[in-house]
Amino acid sequence: MTGADHNLDRALAASTLQWWRDAGVDTLVDEEPVDWLAAPARVPVTPATPATTRPATVVPAAMPADLAGFLAWRMGPDAPEAGWPGPRIGPEGQATATIVVTDVPERDDLAAGRLLSGAAGMLFDRMLAAIGLDRAGIQLVPVATARPPAGRIGGADEAPLAQVLRHHLSLARPDRVLLLGDAASRAALGLNCVSARGSLHSVNHHGGQARVIASFTPRYLLDRPKAKSDAWRDLRLLMGMVA
């Protein structure tokens, strides 16, 4: 071993010892003998305290059994989102053969006082015109009538709002339902939009069954124009234009 190698080994050893000192190691042996082959002592485990979870909003079991009464109740103090901050926008239009369900009012909608306003609204109107409809011939229904602080419906609120939407559909008895986006698709079908779209679904109501299609929201299509061809196929399937 050369002198240079010897000095390098000394430097490495000194560095290692200094790392041990910094880690709190101040002795290499204990004063008492240790049986290194003995099984480790069992340390009692204290059960963890269950985490506190946010209770889900409770929807009254007895929602009005007639559509007019329900629509009034929907905008009243007993609706699930009645305590959310900000203005509310309820269903728009009369009950017809076609119901379109969106998620929540956008900020532009709150200023305009109507659902699907602005650029998204203009695209929505063109989508309706492409299948021979307009706003006067549909009922536009939000899953939530108020805009949640986070901009989307949280998990604890999904179940009661879904119950409200399904009750609405059972009273309105539409022939066709177009679900725009994840919140609407989950509320009506229990599936997100990507899983649900492209297929024909149905929901039962007192007057029979409604043809149900899930598709993208207009604001999604504005951000991703290439998805418009998929949305066009969804609209044609809704209207029975394709098998």
pLDDT in tens, 192-242: 999 999 899 988 877 788 999 999 999 999 999 999 999 999 999 999 875
CB 116 within 8 A of CB 124: yes
State the pTM of this model: 0.74
Please state, in angstroms and rounded to a whole number, the distance separating the CA atoms of residues 197 and 191: 9
Q: What's the pLDDT band for 35 if we cut at 50, 70, 90?
A: low
- The token duo for 8 is 């390098």
CA count, 13 A, side-chain hemisphere, 180: 26
pLDDT in tens, 155-189: 889 999 999 999 999 999 999 999 999 999 999 99
Dihedral, CA of residue 222, residue 226, residue 228 and residue 229, to nearest 10: 180
Q: Which of 175, 102, 96, 106 is nearest to 138 (CA)?
A: 96
